[in-house]
Amino acid sequence: MIAKSAALRGFVAALALVGWTLPALARDIALDSGAFGLGFGLPLFHLTGLLAFIAIGLWSGLLGGGTVWQFPALTLLGALAGCLIGGAGVALPFSDLGPVAGLVVVGVSIALGLQFPIISPGVVVMVLALYLGFPLAQMVRGAHLWYWLGFGSAALLGISGGLGLAVMLGRMPMALGVRTVGAALAATGVFVWLDRI
């Protein structure tokens, strides 16, 4: 009975997550809100980026311990590094599908409760953030500090949303609710992948 309740709460949370991300499906949103607003809106109005930030927060909440502060820091560092690499003109292989593949990997890791014996989860998070930051270089040429403050705030907001879901759902047996949401994130990543190939 408790397992059914956990799965039901996870399913409801997954539906709420889908409802929250629906505005990100609108690809022609134009915001005239200055550098901070542009930086803040960019991750929140792109479905893959928003779900990836939420997945990172959810995974850090599931793993617990030091990952609660390490994952957000690694995400910001990775996204900044990706943007700098893109701005320098260095080609990143599979730059279109990298964020989607990262979302699938993180979602499956959450759903199955995987622990990587060789590569730490922090490395996976940083590589995903690198791919999330890479395309930003083309969008924000010449952006200044306010853009980066907006982007970082939005990324931390998405990660905090994932952490909140983990806190809300993670107290159930074997964190079944969190794993259900992880499976939904992975499935969404697969659908986006199929749409892009």
Of 32-46, 91-105, 109-123, highest mean pLDDT: 91-105
Question: CA–CA separation, 134 vs 111, rounded Å?
Answer: 27
Selected residue with higher pLDDT from 167 and 1:
167
* 115 DSSP 8-state letter: -
Nearest to 56 by CA among 102, 10, 6, 117: 102
Closest CA to 61 of 165, 154, 156: 165
3-state helix, strand, coil in the chain (%, to 5): 80, 0, 20
Local confidence band at 59 (pLDDT 50, 70, 90 cut-offs): confident
Global pTM?
Answer: 0.78
| Residue 150 token pair | 């907006």
pLDDT of residue 119: 63
